[in-house]
Amino acid sequence: MQEQRRHQRIRFSTPLSVEIGYGGRIGHGTLENLSLSGFMLRTNLVLEVGKNFGCEFSISSSARIDAVAVTVSRLGDLFGARFQAGPISNLLIRDAMDEAIASGNASSVSTHIEQGRKIMYVAGGLNAALAHDFDYALNKAGIDELDLSAVTQVDETGIALCKKAMHDHGVNIGARSACFSLAWKN
């Protein structure tokens, strides 16, 4: 399965709080994931598909991002949204995403095929937030190798995910960052 997303999507190691303005009401929620084009949001505020709403959030130590988004999907209290952002908002979001990955506070996973092998590339934090991505890649996509060259932070759960991939699915660990190599050795 080749990664077909237009923009990199990140997940956060701890829930990211977001303030929402919709229909004259103010609400709160958490971002499940984020890309330059949109995000998944969990909130008790009922957002109508096809309608715009305002949102404000900050990633790690980034400047506060204030954007307009349109709701594109809903499943219970989980909403998919697409940014109605301009170039300045895109730049703020991109910089904040890059900083969150570099610090290990967020993670990005993508898959690609290289010389007939399916490779899962992990950047940023290797932790429990990636359990769903690992499960999908191992059980549905059939990954042959992990590329961990861009991992910036690892916890015990991240190590356990890698061990499970190796022992239960025969996945090889290819490229490794210094951070991962140290955690793996210990």
What tokens were used for 113?
């095929």
Residues 68, 118 share a domain = no
Residues 171, 110 share a domain = yes
The total number of structural domains that make up the chain: 2
Assign residue 144 the CATH number of its domain. Answer: 3.30.750.24
Assign residue 80 the CATH number of its domain. Answer: 2.40.10.220
**φ, ψ for residue 170 (rounded to 5)?**
65, 25
pTM of the model: 0.82
Residues 181, 142 share a domain = yes
- 70-103 per-position pLDDT tens digit: 999 999 999 999 998 676 778 888 899 999 999 9
Exposed / middle / buried, residue 42 (Cβ in 10 Å: 0-12, 13-18, 19+): middle
Residue 77 carries which DSSP code?
T
Residues 172, 121 share a domain = yes
- 20-49 per-position pLDDT tens digit: 999 999 999 999 999 988 999 999 999 999
- What is the three-class DSSP state of 42? strand
Residues 115, 93 share a domain = no
Provide the domain limits for residue 174: 106-185
- The answer to the question of residue 3 being in a domain is no
* Domain-ending residue, one of 103, 129, 148: 103
